[in-house]
Chains A and B, each alone.
Chain A
Amino acid sequence: MLKGINMFKKEKSEHGLNIVIVGCGKVGSTLVEQLSKEGHDITIIDKDSSRIQMITNMYDAMGVVGNGATYSSQVEAGIDKADLFIAVTDSDELNLLCCTVAKRVGKCVTIARVHTPEYSKEAKYLKEKLGLEMIINPELESAKVISRILYLPTAEEVSSFAHGQVEMVKIRIPEGNSLENVRIKDIGRNVTESVVICAIERNGEVFIPSGEFIIRAGDLLSFVASRKQTLSFLKNIGFKTGKVRDALIVGGGKGTYYLADQLIKAGIEVRIIELNHHTCEKLSVLLPKATIINEDGSNEETLKEAGIESVQAFIPLTGMDEENVLLSLHAKQVSKAKVVTRISRNNFKGIVENMDLGSVIYPKYITSDAIVGYVRARKNSIDSNIETLYQMFDSKAEAIEFKIENKSAITGVALADLKLKHDLLIAFINRGGEIIFPGGSDTIEVGDTVMIVTTHTGFNDVQDILA
């Protein structure tokens, strides 16, 4: 009987959505990787047959060689049966055209990647007028992630939930910290009030800790708390909590524009080094408050002159991963600045992880998280809905915000009485804007938003938390 249920569940999950993806660049191939893992029927369209070949050899997807904006290519890719159409080529215009055509030809929901600042400013208008379900902008999203880190530079990573009311913060426990060798339940109430430690990574393995878990030096610790609590918690365990005063960015691409824009708005002084004079001029128009330096950022002298030794944050955003890594390593050597490294491609991840590059962010994962979360929510039953999906620790764990739509087995029952899966934790409950960090007697009610953290993958429905 038990086996029968399992098999049924497996069958159910195998029945995925029909998804057409145009463009097999970095974002496109990450999407194929993640979505095919979740059991969807994926068809990819790209002009380059060798890219199609490579992806179809690696992942369970069908390829169509052609221009994704043409009717014939879309029909060949089965647009008539598609549930979801995602255009993630490098060109905004093409993406928008693809989605417009798809919307007319099929009955699918469309998602477009739009990343040039001009269009991005009009994202809302475009979305509405072209009937797009979602506009994704990897550069803008990663700029947001970087700026959150710079507001709280002691953290390795900061992400926000419940419309910014709750933050998930990742810190590394240094040698000699007051939390070292402490059992989680023994952490004093005065230190950890309203802070939930939800996941810990040690030597590449991720744990969802119970009260008995003992923290060691070197652990990467993720916790959720409100902004205020985060600051007081970090202060109590001896972390600095001020945001950075100034930032130095190398490279003047789209990512730089979005980041600088965010930082300037937050009152952080920004210096940008860019080699191309024309780009510099453009940036200086777009970002009048920033200091634009027209120099070669990979030159040691230039960096010294721009004040790398005294700056508080250093973010290399050149188009080359290799150059970014090198610049980060250099910055780590010559200054005490908070370094954030952006890795666009994802080769040699093992090496990157073992190098001291400060906080590392992967834009393509940020994008695919948003889409995977959306896709899971689409596939979902009516009991609940995924609001946000956030992959933690290199996809080894997931944080998911569920909106509880209907009464079910989990609503109205004290959490202590629910039989939950192992390696799973309810991080917080958002009840109409009030954030509850739950204890055993709290309940989940209809209308709540619940965030769970788990090392299981593929949760679609809040019911999945039950053992």
Chain B
Amino acid sequence: MNSPMIRKILGHIMRIEAILMLLPCLVALIYKESVGFIYLTVAGLTAIVGSLLILKRTDDNTLYLKEGCVATSLSWIVLSLIGAAPFAISGEIPSYIDALFETISGFTTTGSSILSDVEALSHTALFWRSFTHWIGGMGVLVFLMSIVSLSGGSTINLMKAESPGPSVGKLTPKIKSTARMLYLIYAGMTIVMIIFMLAGGCSLFDAVTISCGTAGTGGFGIKNDSMAGYSPYIQWVVTIFMMLFGVNFNAFYFLIMRKFKEAFSIEEVKWYFAVIISSIAIIFINIRNIYSSAGEAVRHAAFQVASIITTSGFATADFDTWNTNCKIVLVFLMFIGACAGSTGGGIKVSRFIVMLRTMKKEIGAYIYPKSVKKIMFEGKPADHEMVRSINTYMVTYILLFGISLFLISLQGEDLVTTFTSVTTCINNIGPGLAKVGPTCNFGYMSIGSKLVLMFDMLAGRLELFPILILLHPRMFKDLLVSSVKNMRK
């Protein structure tokens, strides 16, 4: 285990977080809020500790897959632990566990909150809460790679651990330029969205926070009724951008490179939009009569579908009051999730495509047992490794889901609440149904339940294995032994 390198990465991550934490300080300055000093102090301390960690030279810069995974999950944990501190110190979220829940929910772009009155928070805290979505959306290690040369190509293992989707490819030959390109697209689209929001008469603060929440597909609102109070125009802007941020970023890269044919022939994206359109249609038929006009019904249906499939979790309507058919469609969408290589969560459309094709192949094999058929994906035969890893992913997912369900059930809530609270956290969505529905929050849960859900959020964001490998006893031992060895040196 190359623990010096992991330590160095953690140091870099802490320094980046310290710099990013200066932005809420700026907000505090604008709104003349004294909590800014707390953010400044935390940022300062984090920067110092981070710099100390980087100070020592590393001899070996190689990161194998396991180190990549460990470094990624530890980074996310450290990131959350530090990010939660200002909430707790300022007393805006008195309990540290609650603050941590809120922060993890932010970084993992879940958007589940424990706060019942969001509007009571200071602007600084609201901004930081939404900004964590933006940081977590594309991933902080990808950000790190876009600015620091961590020498050696083996850093692809960091990207593999952090980026969502069954297979991670590069856009350009060099990892640094790939990371840079991703962030460029990401930041560019966020800015475009802010402009659209401002054009709709939204205040700058609202535009920025909501855009951050949308870009990361997070879903923290800054109003108690989430997005319901905004004008139809703003709701449509958010709807469209949510859908866009759920698209595989390769598509945008192809667009920028003027390879239009490639951009529009990504199979996953086609299926993604097919699912969105059919879901909107089903829900529209169901809710047509609740709303006064068809336009309103379409708007609410589209917003909710986009919000759930991209795992953002904003809401313009209390879909908990819709009929069961609608709710089931939404729950399906929760599991499907966005495209691989986007900022969204869930199981990912690409995995479902491959799984369904595997199923079709298996059924075919009953008719012609000796038939040979390769599973095709994105116009290429999917290699066996990928199919196997997707299947394993599903099994692991179901198992983790089951265990979490069991643990949350000890809380003693009804079936729908229990089921959807785990669903919403592991898929990084935000609101569930019943007692964790769009108008409710997670504040009433026991500490134990919150810990389980925090774990689920992290596991869901990092796609299970990086965080599970941390629990492997072998990793624990390796990490400990090599740190002790290094200390002696």
Binding-face segment, B8-16, B152-160, B217-225: B152-160
Minimal Cβ-Cβ distance residue in B for A55? B153
Contacts of A57 in B (CB 8 A): 65, 153-154, 156-157
**A92→B175 CA distance, assembly (Å):** 32
Looking at the assembled complex, report how far the CB atom of B199 sits from the nearest CB atom of chain A, in whole angstroms.
37
Tell me whether A41 is interfacial, beta carbon within 8 Å: yes
Q: How far does the alpha carbon of A14 sit from the alpha carbon of B147 in the complex, in Å?
A: 13
Name the residue on B nearest A77 (C-beta).
Answer: B173
Q: Is B170 an interface residue (CB 8 A)?
A: yes
CA distance A59 to B383 in the complex (A): 22
Q: Is A43 an interface residue (CB 8 A)?
A: yes
Partner of A41 from the list B149, B152, B156, B174 (CB cut-off 8 Å) is B174
A62 to B169, CA, bound (A): 8
How many residue pairs link A and B with beta carbons under 8 A? The number is 40
Q: Is there contact, CB below 8 Å, between A41 and B154?
A: no
Q: How far is the CA of A61 from the CA of B172 in the complex (A)?
A: 8
Among candidates B153, B173, B175, residue contacting A58 with C-beta atoms closer than 8 Å = B153
Among B65, B153, B154, B174, chain A packs the most CB atoms within 10 A around the CB of: B153
Distance in angstroms from B319 CB to nearest chain A CB is 43
Q: Interface of chain A, helix or strand or loop or mixed? A: mixed
Instruction: Tell me how far the C-beta of B477 lies from the nearest C-beta in chain A, rounded to whole angstroms.
Output: 24
Assuming the contacts A36-B153, A57-B156, asked whether A62 and B172 have C-beta atoms less than 8 A apart, the reply is yes
Confirm or deny: A60 has a beta carbon within 8 angstroms of a beta carbon on chain B: yes
Known: A41-B173, A41-B174, A42-B173. A60 touches B383 (CB 8 A): no
Interface size on A, residues (CB 8 A): 16
Among B153, B155, B169, B176, point to the contact of A61 (Cβ < 8 A).
Answer: B153
Asked if B170 contacts A58 (CB within 8 A), the reply is no
Q: Hey, which chain A residues are within 8 Å of B175, CB to CB? A: 60
Q: Are B383 and A61 in contact (CB under 8 A)?
A: no
- Output the least CB separation between A62 and chain B (Å): 4
* B49 vs chain A, min Cβ distance (A): 24
Per-position binary interface string of chain B over residues 206-238, scored 1 when its CB falls under 8 Å from any chain A CB and 0 otherwise: 000000000000000000000000000000000
B residues 130-168 with Cβ under 8 Å of A? 149, 152-157
On whether the beta carbons of B157 and A60 are closer than 8 Å, the reply is: no
Least distance between A71 CB and chain B CB atoms (Å):
15
Q: Looking across the interface, which residue of chain B has its beta carbon closest to that of A18?
A: B173
Give the residue of B152, B176, B383 whose beta carbon is less than 8 angstroms from that of A49.
B383
* Contact (Cβ within 8 A) B153 A59: yes
Would you call A56 an interface residue if the criterion is a C-beta within 8 Å of the partner chain's C-beta atoms?
A: yes
- Could you tell me if A41 and B153 are in contact, using CB atoms closer than 8 angstroms? no
A41/B157 in contact, CB under 8 A: no
Residue in B152, B157, B170, B380 whose CB lies within 8 Å of A62: B170
Residues of A54-70 contacting chain B, CB below 8 A: 56-62, 65
User: Shortest CB–CB separation between residue B471 and chain A, in angstroms?
Assistant: 24
Q: Give the complex CA separation of A59 and B157 in angstroms.
A: 11
Min Cβ gap A285→B in Å is 45
Rounded to whole Å, the gap between the CB of A215 and the closest CB of chain B is 30
Write out the residue numbers on chain B whose beta carbons fall within 8 Å of the beta carbon of A41: 172-174, 177
A57 to B65, CA, bound (A): 9
Chain B residues whose C-beta falls within 8 Å of the C-beta of A58 in the assembled complex: 153-154
Q: Which residues of B contact A36 (CB under 8 A)?
A: 153
**Chain A neighbourhood of B156, CB < 8 A:** 56-57, 60
Closest residue of chain A to B171 (Cβ to Cβ) is A62
CA distance A78 to B253 in the complex (A): 14
Contacts of B155 in A (CB 8 A): 60
- In whole Å, how far is A46's beta carbon from the nearest beta carbon of chain B? 14
Interface string of B161-203 (1 = CB under 8 A from A): 0000000011011111100000000000000000000000000
Q: Which residue of A lies closest to B62 (CB)?
A: A58
Q: Chain A 9-21 against B: per-residue CB contact (8 Å), 1 yes, 0 no?
A: 0000010001000
Residue in B closest to A41 when the chains form the complex, CB atoms: B173
| A60 with B172: CB separation less than 8 A | no
Contacts of B65 in A (CB 8 A): 57
State A40–B222 Cα separation when bound (angstroms): 46
**Minimum CB–CB distance for A52 against chain B, Å:** 11
**Whole-angstrom distance from the CB of B195 to the nearest CB of chain A?**
31
- The answer for the CA separation of A60 and B383 in the assembled complex, in Å, is 22
What would 12 A/B residue contacts be, using CB atoms closer than 8 Å?
A56-B153, A56-B170, A58-B153, A60-B152, A60-B153, A60-B174, A60-B175, A60-B176, A61-B153, A62-B169, A62-B172, A78-B173
Binding site for B on A (CB under 8 A): 14, 18, 36, 41-43, 49, 56-62, 65, 78
Besides A58-B153, A59-B154, 9 more A-B contacts (Cβ < 8 Å) are A14-B176, A42-B173, A43-B173, A56-B170, A58-B154, A60-B153, A60-B173, A62-B172, A62-B173
* The 6 residue pairs across chains A and B that have the minimum distance between CB atoms: A60-B153, A59-B153, A41-B173, A62-B173, A62-B170, A43-B173
